[in-house]
Amino acid sequence: MGKPTGFLEYERCGNPAEEPLARIKHWREFHPMLPKEQRQKQGARCMECGVPYCQFGMMLLGGAVSGCPLHNLIPEWNDLVYNGSFKQALKRLHKTNNFPEFTGRVCPALCEAACTCGLNGNPVTIKENELGIVEDGFSGGAVTPRIPKVRTGKKVAVVGSGPAGLAAADQLNLRGHSVTVFEREDRIGGLLMYGIPNMKLEKEIVERRVRLMTAEGVEFRTGVDVGKDIEAKELLKAYDGVILCCGAKKPRDLAAKNREVNGVYFAVDFLGATTKSLLNSGLKDGKYISAKGKQVVIIGGGDTGNDCVGTSIRQGCKSVVQIEMMPKLPGQRGENNPWPQWPFVCKTDYGQEEAIAVFGADPRIYQTTVKELMTDDGGNVKSILTVSLKPENKDGKMVMTEIPGSEKTVPCNLLLIAAGFLGPEDYVPESFGLLRDGRSNVQTAQGKYSTGVDKVFAAGDMRRGQSLVVWAIAEGRLAAKEVDEYLMGYTNL
C-alpha cells in the first residue's frame, strides 16, 4: 500500500448528508461527494491486512456471506485513489464491476462489513471510494464507449433490463456477440428504474449507462412483454441464446381479515408509480398512489419498507408507521455474529431519519403483525387491528406467536405491503417450459445458469430469489460467461 499507516492517521469520513427537513422537499440524491483530496485520504485508510476479506465474497461457516460478490479489487483501487491515479483505479474497478455508479449508491456495502479496519474501529469508505472513482471517470471523460472490434455473428436475447440483464448484455456485447435487451416497461433499468426511489438513485444515472451501452452496440427494445407480446418459440428461433433476467416480482401478500378492501397496495406498485409519474410530469399527472394527507402504515421493516417511508413523507403524509414482525436487532454485533460476517445490527436508514425529524419518533413497531382491516362506509381502509408477537422455540426453530390480549387499533387510510417477494411471475417460466425449485425460482444446476431447456439461461433474482443489486450484477456476469462458452466452445470472459 502507498500509505501503510493511513488507517492510523486518518479517521473515517463519509460523504455528508443533507439534513432530513431539507431533503424531503425534493426527490434528488442528497449525499454530495467529498473533494478529491479528502477522498485520497479515505483511500489511504486501506491497510496492508494480508487477507482482504472485503473482496472475498464467499459463504462462511454458519451460512453468512462475507465481502463483495463481484470480488472487486478493492485494495488495488484504494491504493490508486490514495496516489491520485483515478483513471487507473477506474480500469481496475470496471474489470470486475460493470456498473459501479449503481453499487456505489445503493449497495449495502458487504465489503465494508468485512473490512479488517472494522474489526477494531471504523471500516474504510469502500463504497464511497468506488462511487468517487466512477463519477470522476464520467465527469473527466474517461468513461467512453468500448465498441467491439470484431463481431462473432452470434445473437443473444436478454429478457429483463434490471442489473442482472444489463450486466449480462454488457459482457456479451463486449465479447462481440449481438445483444438485444427486451423490457416490458417504457424505460430500461428494471428495479433500478422503477424499484429504487429517485432520491437513492437518480434515473439520469441509469439512462447515462444505457446511452453508453447503446453506443457500444447493445439494442434495447422497451414495451415488449416476452411471453405475451412475443412467444418463447419466436425468441428461440431468432436468437442463438436467451437469458431470462425477469426478477422476482411476485409480492408476498398480507394474510389478514378483510384484506381486499380499498386503500391497500403493494410497495412495488406504490414506488414504481411514483417514480414513473415523477419522470413523466413531476407528479403533476396524478397517475400515482398518493400518500398526501393520509395516515400511512407500511408492513415490512426492510429496505423497501424504508423507501416507502421516505416516499410517503415526500408526498406529504399525515403520519407514517412501519410494522416489523421480527424483534429489533441489537445495536452491536452479538457473539454469534462475529467479524467478518455481515453484522446483524439495527440501523436507522434515511426514511426513518426523516420520520424522526418530521414526526418526532422512529416509525418502526417491532414484533407486531396485522390481524384485520377495518373500513369506512365506502369500503376504504380506515384502521387496522394489530397484535404483538413473541419469539418461541418450536422443534428447534424460532417462530413468532401472538400474545393474547395485545391487540391494538391503529388509524390507517393507506396500507402498503413491503413484505418481500415469492419469486418470478409465472408466465415467463411457463412460456419457456422451465422447471421451478422449492422457492418457485427458475431451476438451474448448482452453480450453473443453464435451465435444462436448450439455449435458455436464467440469472439474477429470477434464479436466486430476491437479493441485492450487487448479487444481480454478479449473476449476470457469470451467466454471460456460461452463454459465451455455450456459443463459442470456450470463453475469455
The pLDDT tens digits for 448-461 are 999 999 999 999 99
In sequence order, the β-bridge partners of residue 265 are 416
Average pLDDT for 155-161: 98
Q: What pLDDT does 61 receive? A: 66
State the CB neighbour count (10 A cutoff) for residue 255.
10
Give yes or no: residues 188 and 322 share one domain: no
Give yes or no: residues 268 and 407 share one domain: yes
Going by C-alpha positions, the residue among 232, 249, 245 that lies closest to residue 183 is 245
Identify the CATH number of the domain in which residue 101 sits. Answer: 1.10.1060.10
16 vs 14: CA distance, rounded Å: 6
pLDDT digits (tens, 9 = 90+) for 29-40: 999 999 999 999
- Residue 474 has what DSSP assignment? H
Mean pLDDT score of the chain, rounded to an integer?
96
- Is the pLDDT score of 221 beyond 90? yes
Going by C-alpha positions, the residue among 160, 280, 168 that lies closest to residue 220 is 160
Give yes or no: residues 243 and 364 share one domain: no
- Is the pLDDT score of 63 beyond 90? no
Summary count for the chain: helices (H), strands (E): 18, 16
pLDDT digits (tens, 9 = 90+) for 298-332: 999 999 999 999 999 999 999 999 999 999 999 99
Q: What pLDDT does 423 receive? A: 93
State the CB neighbour count (10 A cutoff) for residue 444.
22
Average pLDDT for 103-109: 97
Total domains in the fold of the chain: 3
Give yes or no: residues 234 and 294 share one domain: no
Q: Would you state the cell numbers that stand for residue 257, as one nine-digit string?
A: 381479515
338 vs 426: CA distance, rounded Å: 39
Report if pTM > 0.85.
Answer: yes
Give yes or no: residues 244 and 283 share one domain: no
State the CB neighbour count (10 A cutoff) for residue 139.
9
Cell 407480446 belongs to 229
Asked if residue 174 belongs to a domain, the reply is yes
Give yes or no: residues 318 and 403 share one domain: yes
In one letter, which amino acid is 253? D
Give yes or no: residues 278 and 402 share one domain: yes
Average pLDDT for 10-25: 97
Give yes or no: residues 323 and 459 share one domain: no
Give yes or no: residues 439 and 410 share one domain: no
Q: What pLDDT does 3 receive? A: 85
Q: What pLDDT does 58 receive? A: 83
Asked if residue 106 belongs to a domain, the reply is yes
CB neighbours of 484 closer than 8 A, spacing ≥ 6? 171, 172, 175, 177, 491, 492, 493
The residue from 378, 402, 417 where one domain ends is 417
Asked if residue 400 belongs to a domain, the reply is yes
- Is the pLDDT score of 462 beyond 90? yes
In sequence order, the β-bridge partners of residue 364 are 322
Do the beta carbons of residue 109 and residue 126 sit within 8 Å?
A: yes
Asked if residue 346 belongs to a domain, the reply is yes
- For 165, 191, 376, the CA distances from 188, given in Å and listed in that order, are 10, 9, 40
Angle formed at CA 453 by CA 452 and CA 456, multiple of 5 degrees: 105
- Is the pLDDT score of 2 beyond 90? no
Asked if residue 259 belongs to a domain, the reply is no
Q: What pLDDT does 337 receive? A: 87
- Residue 325 has what DSSP assignment? S
Average pLDDT for 97-101: 98
The residue from 400, 417, 434 where one domain ends is 417
Average pLDDT for 389-405: 93
Q: What pLDDT does 38 receive? A: 97
Identify the CATH number of the domain in which residue 337 sits. Answer: 3.50.50.60
Give yes or no: residues 432 and 290 share one domain: no
Do the beta carbons of residue 213 and residue 323 sit within 8 Å?
A: no
Asked if residue 387 belongs to a domain, the reply is yes
The residue from 417, 447, 464 where one domain ends is 417
Q: What pLDDT does 338 receive? A: 87
Give yes or no: residues 382 and 284 share one domain: yes
- Is the pLDDT score of 277 beyond 70? yes
Asked if residue 493 belongs to a domain, the reply is no
- The band of 489, judged by pLDDT with boundaries at 50, 70 and 90, is very high
Average pLDDT for 9-25: 97
> Residue 265 belongs to what H/E stretch?
strand 264-266
- Is the pLDDT score of 62 beyond 80? no
Do the beta carbons of residue 189 and residue 279 sit within 8 Å?
A: no
Asked if residue 150 belongs to a domain, the reply is no
pLDDT digits (tens, 9 = 90+) for 195-220: 999 999 999 999 999 999 999 999 99
- The band of 1, judged by pLDDT with boundaries at 50, 70 and 90, is low
Give yes or no: residues 270 and 234 share one domain: no
Write out the residue range of the structural domain in which residue 36 sits.
Answer: 6-139
- The band of 59, judged by pLDDT with boundaries at 50, 70 and 90, is confident
Asked which of 53-57, 155-159, 345-349 is least confident by mean pLDDT, the reply is 53-57
